[in-house]
Structure 1
Amino acid sequence: MVPIALLKPHEEIDEEHLHELEKRIVSDGVLRYPIIVDLKTLTILNGHHRVEILKQMGKKYVPAILVDYDSDCVKVYSWREGWNVTKELVREAALSGRKLPPRTSRHILCFEVPRVDIPLDSL
């Protein structure tokens, strides 16, 4: 578990996606998957919308997998045509507070993210 207050987002939130995901999470009563976070900078790599939902619910912690972002195990691509997204761009966006548009970066890991099904009440 990682304190939400320490996390650094690098992308803006898509409000429509946020509301749809919130309905599903509240209906399920659990958070199905952990977010993915850069170990060194606490940059959110995957899970911006889940973090925002938990924050709005007043939760203090989120299940997370911390990864070495410099490792070859983590690759970054773009969902957006014409964008060249690099690890440096992602970190700079997070650390500067100048976030990228929603759904810009696409992170691929060398392992499968396990399902955790953490009850919302425990967060």
Structure 2
Amino acid sequence: MKPILVDAKTLVILDGHHRFNALKILGARYAPAVLVDYDSPCVSVGSWREGVSVSKEEVRRRGVEGRLYPPRTSRHRVCFEIPDVNAGLEELVGYGLGAGEHDGGL
């Protein structure tokens, strides 16, 4: 599974909203994530949509306010490889918890 890309300063999800929401629905307590310094030049943002301008400041602001862009608007790139995480759903849900049972995780 590809980890979710998250701004370390604000904990705004930059990439992986669908994975995060799917894990929540499945009752996961954990989500594999990579925290990044969003202010670093190593992280860049563009748009998947022609004619749409996206900036880091706007992505961060909208994320903090809970006003996300429509799906497939922002496209983030990093200057390092993000390896897949080999974790099964059992590990992400947590031992002893089934789908739908929730103890305050995600």
TM-score bracket relative to the smaller structure: 0.7 to 0.9
Partner SS for 1:118: coil
Name the structure 1 match of 2:76.
107
Within a 5 Å distance, the mapping from 1:69-108 to structure 2 comes to 69-108=38-77
Name the structure 2 match of 1:39.
8
Give, in angstroms, the shift of residue 92 of structure 1: 1.1
Partner SS for 1:45: strand
Q: Render the CA deviation track for 1:54-95: whole Å, top value 9, x for unaligned.
A: 000111210111000000010000001111100011011111
Give, in angstroms, the shift of residue 46 of structure 1: 0.9
Structure 2 Cα separation of the partners of residues 96 and 115 of structure 1:
29
Give structure 2 stretches of 5+ with no counterpart.
Answer: 93-106
Give TM-score, length-normalised by structure 2.
0.84
Within a 5 Å distance, the mapping from 1:49-68 to structure 2 comes to 49-68=18-37
* Paired positions, count: 92
Higher fraction of helix: 1
Look at both structures and tell me which one has the larger radius of gyration over its CA atoms.
Answer: 2
Give, in angstroms, the shift of residue 35 of structure 1: 0.9
Letter in 1 for 2:21: E
Structure 1 Cα separation of the partners of residues 5 and 28 of structure 2:
18
Give, in angstroms, the shift of residue 117 of structure 1: 1.7
Q: Percent identity over the alignment?
A: 59
RMSD over aligned Cα atoms: 0.7
Letter in 1 for 2:7: D
Name the structure 1 match of 2:88.
119
